[in-house]
């Protein structure tokens, strides 16, 4: 039997209910915040991710679904959404237009990671990207949006916050850090050896326990920020305090993608095991120019949908629409006509098998219908339909034409 690939799951209808509820809730909140939907292709030129997510990142270095297509192009399945949205922003010359552009998106992402609980090779993100706002208020807006979304879904969380500095303070910090790494070089893991050369700050979130113990003494990013970055970080904290959004400063939070500067944040859940990051984001003011666009400030985030699904507190299911059935085969055409008419505005599901009223009531219950509508020999002869409202527990018999006309009105 052919199975789906490891780390790539089907989403069955029974699970999609949660998925859809998440998408509706998150999209509605994004729209309320003034964001507009954007969709970009799943497949992009490999160079896009090399130049944005960064060659030194694990995502580009080890996890890309990369191949040569039939035209000889080096392409890959997108491992994340930001790069594609930035490409579209530049390609469609929105950078040249100026002003503020706010987008949201959702869809599958692909990373060739070792699958485990909460870590898939094909997973889904809901993300937003905001272009053109320099103010740290926009960074706060991002965090408020994630917080609002998680609150609306009933998901408990913690927020980790850091500042990664900018081109004024980062180069000097990086040098300081490299000197520190060199001072303990004999004891660090091979991955950190590599990171020291490619992107030294990534050593700070090394998972190796030996390295972690060493880096306790490493110079801290937050203590090496320039005045501008420090002042923005203080303002951000004040805004979050004013909005009663709790946070923890995590000086080792460096994120797994190379394009960030200044604000970096992650939302984590303590209820889903080791893959606890449910959302991540931050500012990336240099990325647009790295991808040949006009320098434009930008900030965004993405939520990992699969990691959230089991945490969502679903609203009580409400009974909806009609279940229609016939008690004899001759009544089936009338039932079909009624269903066709109802479907102009309502959910209407037909059972094609002639059976008893009791069996139809059970069927209506099974699909959580609000109304059970049945036609038997008597109703057919009288041109009526029997309807039970399964919420109000009220029964009535209506002329079939009345029902059809009502729905067509
Ligand atoms: P990221 O932190 O790599 O950021 O991913 C965002 C979220 O996607 C994570 O917090 C996690 O919930 C989920 N996720 C990541 N990898 C997996 C996986 N293998 N299986 C299941 N879920 C996963 C980004 O992708 C950035 N583009 C976010 C961003 C947008 N920054 C600025 N704008």
The tens digit of pLDDT for each residue in 291-300 reads 999 999 999 9
Average pLDDT over residues 158-165: 97
Average pLDDT over residues 367-373: 97
User: In this predicted structure, what is the pLDDT of residue 406?
Assistant: 55
Nearest CA to ligand 1 atom 3: 256
Nearest CA to ligand 1 atom 8: 304
Distance of alpha carbon 403 from alpha carbon 398, whole angstroms: 7
Average pLDDT over residues 236-249: 98
CA 253 / ligand 1 centre spacing (Å): 14
Handedness of CA 395, 399, 400, 404 (dihedral sign): negative
User: In this predicted structure, what is the pLDDT of residue 405?
Assistant: 59
User: In this predicted structure, what is the pLDDT of residue 397?
Assistant: 96
- The SS3 assignment for 391 reads coil
Pocket probe for ligand 1: among 54, 271, 280, the residue whose CB has the most ligand atoms within 8 Å is 280
| For the CA of 79, the nearest atom of ligand 1 | 25
Do strands 36-37 and 101-110 pair parallel, antiparallel, or not at all (unpaired)?
parallel
Distance of alpha carbon 354 from alpha carbon 348, whole angstroms: 17
Cβ atoms within 10 A of the Cβ of 5, count? 9
Do strands 158-163 and 248-249 pair parallel, antiparallel, or not at all (unpaired)?
parallel
Whether the predicted pLDDT of 337 surpasses 90: yes
Cβ atoms within 10 A of the Cβ of 69, count? 9
Distance of alpha carbon 158 from alpha carbon 294, whole angstroms: 35
User: In this predicted structure, what is the pLDDT of residue 327?
Assistant: 98
Can you read off the two tokens belonging to residue 93?
Answer: 């010359």
Cβ atoms within 10 A of the Cβ of 78, count? 24
| For the CA of 284, the nearest atom of ligand 1 | 32
Mean pLDDT of the chain: 95
Instruction: Give, in order, the Cα–Cα distances in Å from 58 to each of 151, 257, 292, 304.
Output: 31, 8, 24, 18
User: In this predicted structure, what is the pLDDT of residue 394?
Assistant: 97
Pocket probe for ligand 1: among 150, 277, 298, 312, the residue whose CB has the most ligand atoms within 8 Å is 277
Whether the predicted pLDDT of 191 surpasses 90: no
Give residue ranges with CB within 6 A of ligand 1.
80-82, 111, 113, 119-120, 123, 125, 127, 129, 256-257, 277-282, 300-302, 304, 306-307
CA 55 / ligand 1 centre spacing (Å): 17
| For the CA of 257, the nearest atom of ligand 1 | 3
Do strands 65-68 and 74-77 pair parallel, antiparallel, or not at all (unpaired)?
antiparallel
Burial of 344 (0-12, 13-18, 19+ CB in 10 A): exposed
Can you read off the two tokens belonging to residue 140?
Answer: 């706060």
CA 335 / ligand 1 centre spacing (Å): 49
Helical (H) or strand (E) element with 171:
helix 170-183
Residue 151 binned pLDDT confidence (cut-offs 50, 70, 90): very high
Burial of 307 (0-12, 13-18, 19+ CB in 10 A): buried
Helical (H) or strand (E) element with 214:
helix 209-215
Pocket probe for ligand 1: among 133, 304, 305, the residue whose CB has the most ligand atoms within 8 Å is 304
CA 277 / ligand 1 centre spacing (Å): 8
Distance of alpha carbon 149 from alpha carbon 275, whole angstroms: 20
pLDDT tens per residue across span 12-59: 998 999 999 999 999 999 999 999 999 999 999 999 999 999 988 899
Residue 197 binned pLDDT confidence (cut-offs 50, 70, 90): confident
| For the CA of 125, the nearest atom of ligand 1 | 8
- The SS3 assignment for 322 reads strand
**pTM for the predicted model, two decimal places:** 0.92
Whether the predicted pLDDT of 86 surpasses 60: yes
CA 289 / ligand 1 centre spacing (Å): 23
Cβ proximity of 281 and 303 under 8 Å:
no
CA 287 / ligand 1 centre spacing (Å): 17
Average pLDDT over residues 353-373: 97
Partnered with residue 395 across adjacent β-strands are 388
Give 156 or 409, the one with higher predicted confidence. 156
Nearest CA to ligand 1 atom 13: 304
- The SS3 assignment for 100 reads coil
Give the chain's domains with CATH numbers.
13-169+225-309 (3.30.930.10), 322-408 (3.40.50.800)
Can you read off the two tokens belonging to residue 207?
Answer: 């998972």
């Amino acid at each position: 039997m052919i199975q789906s690939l490891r780390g790539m799951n089907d989403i069955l209808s029974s699970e999609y209910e949660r998925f859809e509820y998440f998408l509706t809730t998150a999209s509605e909140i994004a729209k309320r915040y003034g964001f507009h939907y954007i969709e970009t292709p799943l497949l992009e030129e490999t160079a896009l991710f090399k130049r944005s997510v960064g060659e030194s990142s694990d995502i580009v270095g080890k996890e890309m679904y990369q191949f040569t297509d039939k035209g000889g192009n080096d392409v890959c399945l997108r491992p994340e959404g930001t790069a594609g949205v930035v490409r579209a922003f530049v390609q469609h010359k929105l950078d040249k237009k100026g002003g503020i552009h706010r987008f949201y998106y959702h869809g599958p992402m692909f990373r060739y990671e070792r699958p485990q609980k909460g870590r898939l090779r094909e997973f889904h993100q809901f993300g937003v990207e905001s272009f053109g706002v320099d103010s740290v208020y926009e960074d706060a807006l991002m965090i408020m949006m994630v917080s609002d979304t998680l609150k609306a879904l009933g998901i408990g969380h913690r927020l980790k916050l850091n500042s990664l500095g900018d081109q004024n303070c980062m180069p000097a910090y990086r040098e300081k850090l490299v000197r520190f790494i060199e001072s303990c070089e004999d004891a660090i893991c091979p991955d950190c050896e590599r990171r020291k050369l490619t992107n030294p700050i990534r050593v700070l979130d090394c998972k190796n326990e030996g390295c972690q113990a060493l880096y306790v003494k490493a110079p801290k990013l937050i203590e090496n920020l320039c005045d501008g970055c420090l002042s923005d970080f203080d303002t951000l904290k004040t805004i979050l305090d004013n909005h009663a959004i709790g946070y923890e400063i995590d000086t080792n939070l460096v994120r797994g993608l190379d394009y960030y500067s200044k604000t970096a944040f992650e939302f984590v859940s303590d209820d889903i095991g080791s893959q606890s990051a449910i959302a991540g984001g931050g500012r990336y003011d240099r990325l647009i120019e790295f991808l040949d666009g006009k320098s434009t400030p930008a900030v965004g985030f993405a939520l990992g949908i699969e990691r959230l699904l089991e945490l969502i507190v679903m609203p009580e299911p409400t009974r909806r629409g009609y279940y229609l059935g016939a008690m004899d085969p001759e009544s089936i055409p009338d039932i079909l006509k009624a269903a066709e008419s109802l479907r102009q505005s309502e959910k209407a599901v037909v059972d094609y098998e002639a059976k008893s009223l009791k069996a139809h009531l059970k069927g209506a219950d099974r699909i959580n219908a609000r109304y059970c509508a049945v036609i038997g020999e008597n109703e057919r002869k009288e041109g009526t339909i029997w309807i039970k409202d399964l919420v109000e527990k009220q029964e009535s018999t209506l002329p079939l034409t009345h029902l059809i006309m009502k729905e067509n009105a």
